[in-house]
Amino acid sequence: MRILVAIKRTLDAYVKVRVKSDQSGVDLANAKQAMNPFCEIALEEAVRLKEQGAASEVVVVSVGSDKVVEQLRTAMALGADRAIHVPASDELESLNIAKLLKAVVEREQPGLILLGKQAIDSDNNQVGQMLAALCGLPQATFASAVQVAGGAAVVSREVDGGTQTLRLTLPAVVTADLRLNEPRYAKLPDIIKAKKKPVDVLSIEQLGVPLKTHLRTLSVSEPPERQAGIKVENVQQLVAKLREAKVLP
């Protein structure tokens, strides 16, 4: 079975986000970028399934500028066998990305498609669900455990009040949550080998996907700074302060 893993290049999770002065977006100039943490978890799960013998090949795909090749090579250093790059704008909407991934799925015919549940930059949590709908495949989101056997995937996912277990007939789409696993670190020899591996390029024209703009960003701003808290001497002062803040009538 072949596993297809979609990954995204995002700001490093530990970098302070800065907004452009014209409020048109986030300032990415000279900012460290890395593989989206949830995508890294999805990749780790694919590699583990291959190591268990449930899969024969792990293919990674990313849609974006030429800079995403760095993350694709990191993915190969972590255990992916092949990489596919779809050159496009880094600002593509979720629906357009899902349509491009659908075209890749049709070419690769994977038995399982793994994605991170969301990207830490946009936080949309949309691509996995859209891809499953476009492909007409069963899906399981926010996966905290995945088992593959007998042409099916058994996925555990956390829901309000407990855990839900789903059995999906393959092929299927699964999105990874934080608790699914802990990603490994790439070893230096693997990093060196990954630099020499080719990255397949599939253009938007080759995939035959017309892209449309559905959304427009009006402005991006930083959240207001929190004011420092105060201490009160007694309950009467607390009630008075809550009334001032209009928390109490």
Domain ranges of the chain: 2-222
Residue 148: its pLDDT value, please?
95
pLDDT digits (tens, 9 = 90+) for 66-98: 999 999 999 999 999 999 999 998 888 999 999
pLDDT digits (tens, 9 = 90+) for 56-70: 999 999 999 999 999
Q: Which CATH superfamily is domain 2-222 in?
A: HUPs (3.40.50.620)
CA angle 243-228-20, nearest 5°?
A: 115
Residue 171: its pLDDT value, please?
96
pLDDT digits (tens, 9 = 90+) for 24-38: 888 888 888 899 999
CB 12 within 8 A of CB 36: no
